[in-house]
Structure 1
Amino acid sequence: MSKTILVVGATGIQGSSVASTFLQTPNWIVRGLVRDPTSPNAIELATKGVELVKGDLADPASLAAAVKGVNVIFANTRFNPAQAFESAEFKALAKPGQSPLEFHFEEEVAKGRNIADAAAAVEGLERFVWSSASEPGKWSKGKYDDLLSFETKGAVWKYIQDTYPELARKTSVLYLGSYATNWQWGPASYNWIKKDDGSVALRLPGNGPHPIPFVVPSDTGNYVLALIKVPPGKKLVACSDSLTWAEYTKLWSRVVGVNAVYEPCSVEEHVGAVPGGYTEMIGKIYEYATQFGYWGDGDPDVVFPEDLGVEIKRTSMEEFIRNEDWSRILN
């Protein structure tokens, strides 16, 4: 008998991968929650067989309709890129004295709670997969308590545990590693420096003892499929390979065939080299990840792919690097 998975944000990076994976898995019906069923990405999903439902994470009624009769829910929220700016939404709705970061933190947490409220009301729900992140403030003992793009996810998970213990018992938490594709954002994320001799340096914060778990985001669906094959309660760090920046740069150098080295720097130096936007938050995330573990070192519920006990199809970092176009760095 077929089962139905609802993919929240089915046109997004994570959701589209989950939808694709389950479309290719026998006996699964894929329902995709989208804001605009007429968008090109939504239409493409529909042509592949996804059952589209229109909904908005800020509209609880639309979520209640979307979750009816599903067996599994995959959900994630996205920290609004307007966080770094005074967007029109921020100007219209922010409370007095509230910063864009604070405003969009509250906005994302509210949306996550709406998803949880809807999921908790589903009769017969078998699994809720929450795409989350560790809580830097907790695991760093307050040193990194301002990484709101991580903290939003943890706040929703805490809400689920406190408000819906039955739903929490049905939940698998997915910690997607650092996107391997983030280099495409440019120097704020991966500050490659080309030198006169033709070599390159990767200059970034994050020279602590812990490796960074790198994930190829198109593999997201494979991790979700693996999670529902094992009992709930796991926090899976989804990653292709865990590498320090020095190890990553050495691998990149070998695969691309260009001499490269990693040059550690401070967050302040990173911001000075690439001012504006996300630079400071990204630098602090790298520092937190390498000093305290991207996943929150010490969390007893955390497992890695090799610990899960089921096979997970993953794209290695070597394969990913080999298939990327690095011309913008090399030319």
Structure 2
Amino acid sequence: MSSQTTKIITVFGATGHQGASVIASLLRNPAFAVRGTTRNVSSEGAQALTAKGVQLFTVDAVNPDADQLEAALKGAWGVFLNLSSHDPSIEENEYAAGKAMIDAIQGAGVEHIVYSSLPPSSLLTSGEVPMATFDEKYKLQQYISNSCNFATASFIQAAWYFDNFKYADFSGGFPFVPGADGVYTLRYPSCGPNLPLVAIENDFGDWVHGILLEPEAWNGKVVQGSSAIMSYQEMVERFETYTGKKARVDEISVAEFETFGLSWMEEIAKMFTFFQKTAGRYYGVENDLGNAKKLKAAVAEKVGGKATLTTWEEWLAENWEDKEKQ
């Protein structure tokens, strides 16, 4: 247990999308001292964090250096843990690697853990749509809940990233590349009535921060990691209003979705099938923004900053440019 007034938080995967967002949020709060782990402390992203005062340690999730891991966890009050499922070194053994890491975190005396999980795809589809990324993360969530003795354990299941749209080739060009007729076309398989979306950079870190402000209140809870919930049609219509450009939806079958032979794209194709089998209930229950809003507002009340979740229009304002004018 840490007796220090400043509470040490160790963020695993410090330079990844989630970890970087968590660190950026925690650095706004002088009550926390932030540490991070990464495989390469010399990387550009790692050096940027070091310049901000983040103490970094070299820790590989599959083969962690025992001394570095011990140093990263020494005196830590809380931990944020995310495992990069698409890291080649972890793809085949995420549960084993995650369990070993969780055991080390618990053994170091850490009181509070926030774990980045995902819904159990096999369970929610009666075995019809198994996805290793989803099922392994959920299995680790269950291990933390049922077999560990942290003072508190909380979970966030991130939704579909807004940033997925930056890979415009996979969405028919939407929202960055117009078709030959000048119309921006969202070309995806159906995901059910609504798609939960997350602005990782802007919102995810505040949710972890908010949990750590009052961990007992969030103990055992699973937070739906969504910034917005929209249908394809609503997304297109709001894009038209914001940009003044024409757009449309062209729903295709999962078989028509081009994966380009990439394993992570094949996983995304499975995700569309998962959405269809669950009637859009990504989390196994109705999509809801309630807890995400509460956590975002709690952080703003404590340290200032934006108190509301990132909207589609706000994400477009940060990322969309009119290519026709360039």
Kindly state the Cα deviation for residue 196 of structure 1 after the two structures are TM-superposed. Answer: 4.2
Residues 264 and 81 of structure 1, relative CA distance in 2, 3 Å threshold: farther
Listed as ranges, the gaps of 5+ residues in structure 2 are 300-306
What is the alpha-carbon distance in structure 1 between the residues aligned to residue 185 and residue 251 of structure 2?
A: 10
Say whether 1:65 aligns with 2:71: yes
Secondary structure of the equivalent of 1:311?
helix
Aligned residue among 104, 112, 132 for 2:98:
112
1:318 is matched with 313
The letter for the 2-side match of 1:78 is S
Over aligned residue pairs, what C-alpha RMSD do you find?
2.7
Pairwise mapping of residues 68-83 of structure 1 onto structure 2 (< 5 A)? 68-80=74-86, 82=88
The letter for the 1-side match of 2:73 is V
Pairwise mapping of residues 179-190 of structure 1 onto structure 2 (< 5 A)? 179-188=161-170
Residues 54 and 195 of structure 1, relative CA distance in 2, 3 Å threshold: closer
Kindly state the Cα deviation for residue 110 of structure 1 after the two structures are TM-superposed. Answer: 2.4
Kindly state the Cα deviation for residue 204 of structure 1 after the two structures are TM-superposed. Answer: 0.5
What is the alpha-carbon distance in structure 2 between the residues aligned to residue 233 and residue 37 of structure 1?
A: 33
Residues 134 and 189 of structure 1, relative CA distance in 2, 3 Å threshold: farther
Secondary structure of the equivalent of 1:197?
coil
1:228 is matched with 212
Aligned residue among 125, 139, 143 for 2:124:
139
Say whether 1:218 aligns with 2:218: no
Identity %: 28
Say whether 1:297 aligns with 2:282: no
Residues 207 and 132 of structure 1, relative CA distance in 2, 3 Å threshold: closer
Give the TM-score taking structure 1 as reference length.
Answer: 0.82
1:286 is matched with 272
The one-character-per-residue Cα deviations of 1:191-242 (angstroms, maximum 9, x if unpaired) are: 5484443212211012423x22211111221111112234211111122211
What is the alpha-carbon distance in structure 2 between the residues aligned to residue 6 and residue 330 of structure 1?
A: 44
The letter for the 2-side match of 1:159 is Y
Say whether 1:42 aligns with 2:24: no
Residues 38 and 279 of structure 1, relative CA distance in 2, 3 Å threshold: closer
The letter for the 1-side match of 2:311 is S
Kindly state the Cα deviation for residue 116 of structure 1 after the two structures are TM-superposed. Answer: 0.7
The one-character-per-residue Cα deviations of 1:164-195 (angstroms, maximum 9, x if unpaired) are: 2x23x611101122111111123235654844
Kindly state the Cα deviation for residue 27 of structure 1 after the two structures are TM-superposed. Answer: 1.7
What is the alpha-carbon distance in structure 1 between the residues aligned to residue 167 and residue 324 of structure 2?
A: 12
Residues 309 and 58 of structure 1, relative CA distance in 2, 3 Å threshold: closer
Give the TM-score taking structure 2 as reference length.
Answer: 0.83
Aligned residue among 121, 125, 135 for 1:151:
135
Kindly state the Cα deviation for residue 14 of structure 1 after the two structures are TM-superposed. Answer: 1.0
Q: Does the aligned pair in 1 maintain the 2:173–2:186 contact within 8 Å?
A: yes
The letter for the 1-side match of 2:169 is P
1:31 is matched with 35
The letter for the 2-side match of 1:120 is Q
